Amino acid sequence: MNRLKTVSRVILAIALLIIGTLHFIYPSELEKVLPEYLPYHFSLVYLGGILEILAGIGLLIPQITHATAWFLVLLFIVIFPGNWHQAVNNIDVAGFPHDPPLIWLRFPMQALLVAWAWWLTRE
């Protein structure tokens, strides 16, 4: 089980590092998915990228993996409104596949990410 968790943790870390980096490559595109009621869209996109990169790094440091995993549980829940806004409004983001069924599949995927991060908090 330890080996499975280690491999799982590294895979999630790499994914977060890539996704976090995309926030800096496509910031104006990612701004589109933020609901209108949120202020400072551009800053929030960069903040999201920074947090995802830091979380990716945190998962690779065994001493802080547990805390990082709890942070990711919260982060994956907090980003739900952006995913909802994108799906409901069928927002196309350049550089990412755009297919309405794929956008809606992000919700079960997001639940999986919450569960994955939560699993990493377990001893």
Domain extent listing, the chain: 2-121
28-36: long-range pairs with CB below 8 Å, 24+: 29/93, 29/94, 29/95, 29/96, 30/93, 32/86, 32/91, 32/93, 33/82, 33/83, 33/85, 33/86, 33/91, 33/93, 34/82, 34/85, 35/81, 35/82, 35/84, 35/85
Q: Is the model's pLDDT at 1 over the cut of 70?
A: no
Average pLDDT, the chain: 90
pTM above 0.85, yes or no: yes
pLDDT in tens, 2-47: 899 999 999 999 999 999 999 999 999 889 888 888 899 999 999 9
Model confidence pLDDT, tens digit, residues 82-121:
888 888 888 877 666 777 777 788 788 889 999 999 999 9
